[in-house]
Structure 1
Amino acid sequence: MEIEEFESIMMTVMVSGLCLFLLFIMFDLARRANAGRLGTFIIVGGLGLGMMAFALKGIIIELLTGFSG
């Protein structure tokens, strides 16, 4: 395994772990603030939008490079 391959795999694993941890933080914040369903939806929706964009960017790049190659 080349170093570039290892770095690519670890980057994906570590960023995914960070996103899961941030999701846990969002739900914990909503629980501690007694936000209710709407408040939890707003917290997760607002803060999770960046994570969703990051995931979609990776999917779109893979789709585009898969079709051009």
Structure 2
Amino acid sequence: MSEEQFTDISMTVCLTGLIIFMGFIIWDLGKKSQAGKMGTAVLFLVLGFGVVGFIFKNVLVEFLVLK
């Protein structure tokens, strides 16, 4: 296994774990602040939008730069 393959696999695994952990943090924040269902949904929408933007940026780079 080359360094490039190891880096690619470890970044994918670690970033996936980080995104899942951030989802747990958002859920816990909604629970501890007693935001209710609507408030928790808004938290996921607003705070999760940054994660979606990060993923979308990576998809665009893959398709446009490596084309």
3-state SS of paired residue (1:37): helix
Secondary structure at 1:34's aligned position in 2? Answer: coil
- The normalised TM-score by structure 2 is 0.84
Structure 1 residues 19-67: Cα deviation after superposition (integer angstroms, max 9, x where no partner): 10010010111112111122112211111111111111222223333xx
- Extract unaligned runs of 5+ from structure 2: none
The equivalent of 2:25 in structure 1 is 25
Which residue does the alignment assign to 2:4? 4
**Length, aligned pairs only:** 66
Identical aligned pairs, as a percentage? 38
